Each structure stands twice: as structure tokens, then as C-alpha cells.
Amino acid sequence: MRILSWPLIRTRRRPSFRWPPTALWGMSTGFCRPSPQLFGGVWPGWQVVKSTKGGKAMCGIAGVLYKKGSGPVGEDLKRLVYGIRHRGRDSSGVAIFSSNNGAGGNERLLIHVRVGSNPSPQEIDAVLSTLEGLLEEEGGEILDHRVAGTILGIGVQYSGSVRKLCYRLDRYKVQTISIGYELVIYKDLGTADRLDVVYHYSRVEGTHGIGHARLATESMVSPDRAHPFWAYGFADIAIVHNGQLTNYWKLRRHFERKGYRFRTDNDSELIAIYNAHYLEKGMKLQDVLEQSLLDLDGTYTFLVATPGELGFVRDKLAAKPLVYVDTADRVVLASEEIGLRALLPDMESMTVEEPLPRTAATWSIDGGRQLSRLTYRAVGME
């Protein structure tokens, strides 16, 4: 008797052309995306994106966590993300957690700011002068800074509100990419290998991290819309996401009423703020991820990283792929097995696991693991 593996129902191949108003309703077609130009394509303001074989063009996500120690997280993420580059070449990025980034626990806060290509000394001085003035009001100071590509990294001593500092920087048009005591984010246009040539992130060691290869389908191609997304206004929280939220605007208005701000129109940014909000309220990451399965509508799989944990969520349809290998020394996750093999070429003795629908799981840097699968139930946010 032949046993069929899940899913039992497979969709037929979709055509490479969809009626544009479908995209205008906010439903992802996978084939159209907003264009800054109002010409070309099959509909004003939209341009056709060629589908991959089988009509499954989508982003790729990856993550790695070392248990009870640190390792070459930067190099691992480079291999993982490059291994799934066929899923998206518009942009790529990595988020790495390491105690070395802060160089002294909560004494040094690292701020990554976007600057222009080949920034002039005047441009850098303008950013530093703005930040210095804001820090002085809170009793902080700039400790050091360095430039790599279009990212200005600034180490500061600061004990005030991170959210207040972020929002005030935004008033001066300073674009923050990440803020954290352990978190650093490098992201830009192009693939993971190009990113490493500019930012040399493969040299960074850490405890864990996440990465992303992006195919832009619902917002423009730009460095600020590349993943990972840092939770704007919070320290040390980042996510990578493959999918679409159908209740994005409802949730965004919900959090804006609570006083949160958004830098982009990307639904992935909302996922980051959603997780950060409930973590700040004292919930455990596993509980937040389980709750997100009830609050977030759409088709999605995302990874979230905090200073001590790495977790994932796969929605009730499990339309967005994810596989992982959990070994004695580390856990490695990717959208496809080909990504895992880019890092783990000898996988014959390893078990590759694929999460079921409505599954949330977390791993901690001290070796702990939690995994749960939710049943259907309807509850709303607070």
C-alpha cells in the first residue's frame, strides 16, 4: 500500500499572468510588484516579474544557533543564504548575535545607520553630530565608529530609552538599520556573496543568527526593505520572513495606536514589532510565537532571533517551506534542503525535519528546545 505524505492536496500550476486588480486588493500574486515608474508592465504602476518553475517564486530564509558556545555564525549564514540564492536575488542580509558586538554586556550599544555609497567625511560628521547632540541630553556619548559599504556602525554609551532615541533620530532623517548590545545587521542589494565582499560579515563569530534572500513581490527593491528586519524602536530583536500578511494594515493601525512607528510599508517590519511588543510585556518567546499563529493572518514562515533564543513559526497552511537539522552542537534551518547542504555537505547521517502546519518552536543558546503545534481556535489581540 502506498502511503501519501502531507500535503495530500497539491495545487495546479498557476499561470504566469494574473489580473492586476488582484494585486491592488492586497493579495500577493507572486508575479506583480509595485514599481516606482508609472509605465511599462501590464498595468499602470506595476511590472511583471517572471515566475520560477512551477510558479513558486518566493524569498528564502535561514538560521543557525550554536548550543552552549559560539561559532562562525557569519560564515555559516553566508553559505546558507548563498545556497538558497535562487529564491531571491533582489537583496540579502544577515543578523548576527554576539557578545563581542557590544564588547561589555550592556555598557556599549551598537547602532547601525545607513549612509550613502562612498560617504563623504561631511556626511559622516553630520550623522555623528546629530547623534552626539541627542546623546548628550541623556548623559550618553559616542565611543567609536566605523564605515563599511553604506553602513555606519557607531558604538555608544547610552542608558536611556532606545525607542525615544530611534524616533528622535528619525526626525533628523537618520535611517537606523539595527540597534543592540549583541545584534548587528548587514543587508543590501544583491546576493550573499556580494554582501560579504562589501561588509565582510563572514568573519563575525557569534552564538546565533538569521539570514534572508529576497524576491521583492509586494514592496520596492531597496536596502531599507531588505531583510532581516530589526524591531524598530527595540534593542536586539530581528526577524526574517517568507510570506504575506493579509491583515497587515489592521495590525499596523493597532500598534500605531499604541504609539509605535514604522519605517516601511513591509509586513515583515510589523512581525518584528509584534514580537518585540509582547516580549517587552514579559511573555516568553515560545508563547509569543504561539500567539502569533492566532493573530497573524496569511501564508507565512518566519524566524525570530533575540539575544538568547532563535525560533520559528509556520502558519496553518504551511505553504512557505522550512526544513532544519538539529544536532548535538547546533541547529541549522533553511527554506530548502539545498541550503542546508551548502553548509552541511555530509548530511547522510543527519535527520532533516520539516515542521507541520501551525507549528512554533524555539531553541536557546544554553541547549534548550521547545516545540508545539496549535489546534484551531479563535482569539484576538489584547
pLDDT at 232 over 90: yes
What crossing angle do the helices spanning 192-199 and 73-83 adopt, rounded to 10°? 150
Number of other residues whose CB lies within 10 A of the CB of residue 335: 27
What is the topology classification, in CATH, of domain 56-98+186-373?
Glutamine Phosphoribosylpyrophosphate, subunit 1, domain 1 (3.60.20)
The CATH architecture that domain 101-181 belongs to is 2-Layer Sandwich (3.30)
Residue 36 is given by DSSP the state: S
Contacts of 171 (CB under 8 A, 6+ apart): none
Q: Which spans in the chain are helix H? A: 20-24, 73-83, 99-102, 121-137, 162-171, 192-199, 248-256, 267-280, 285-295, 337-343
Known active-site residue 59: yes
Confidence (pLDDT) at 377: 56
pLDDT at 57 over 80: no
CA distance 365 to 236: 15
How would residue 118 be classed by pLDDT, with cut points 50, 70 and 90? confident
pLDDT at 23 over 60: no
Confidence (pLDDT) at 106: 58
pTM, 2 dp = 0.82
pLDDT digits (tens, 9 = 90+) for 297-309: 999 999 999 999 9
pLDDT digits (tens, 9 = 90+) for 332-361: 999 999 999 999 988 888 999 999 999 999
**Residue boundaries of the structural domains of the chain:** 56-98+186-373, 101-181
Q: Which of 49, 59, 96, 360 is catalytic?
A: 59
pLDDT at 129 over 70: yes
**pLDDT greater at residue 89 or residue 72:** 72
pLDDT at 1 over 70: no
pLDDT at 43 over 70: no
Handedness of CA 63, 184, 366, 272 (dihedral sign): negative
* In the chain, % of residues over pLDDT 70: 81
Mean pLDDT value across residues 220-242: 89
Handedness of CA 254, 257, 260, 266 (dihedral sign): positive
CA distance 232 to 226: 14
pLDDT digits (tens, 9 = 90+) for 138-158: 889 999 999 999 999 999 999
pLDDT at 254 over 70: yes
Confidence (pLDDT) at 126: 95
pLDDT digits (tens, 9 = 90+) for 85-98: 999 888 899 999 99
* Secondary structure tally for the chain: helices H, strands E: 10, 19
Tell me which residue of 247, 364, 324 sits closest to 63, measured CA to CA: 324
CA distance 300 to 315: 6
DSSP string covering 125-172, please?
Answer: HHHHHHHHHHHHHTT-EEEEEEEETTEEEEEEE--S-HHHHHHHHHHT
Owner of C-alpha cell 536557546:
364
pLDDT digits (tens, 9 = 90+) for 312-335: 999 999 999 999 999 999 999 999
Asked if the domains at 56-98+186-373 and 101-181 fall in one CATH topology, the answer is no
How would residue 36 be classed by pLDDT, with cut points 50, 70 and 90? very low
Q: Write out the three cell numbers for 28.
A: 500577493
CA distance 244 to 29: 10
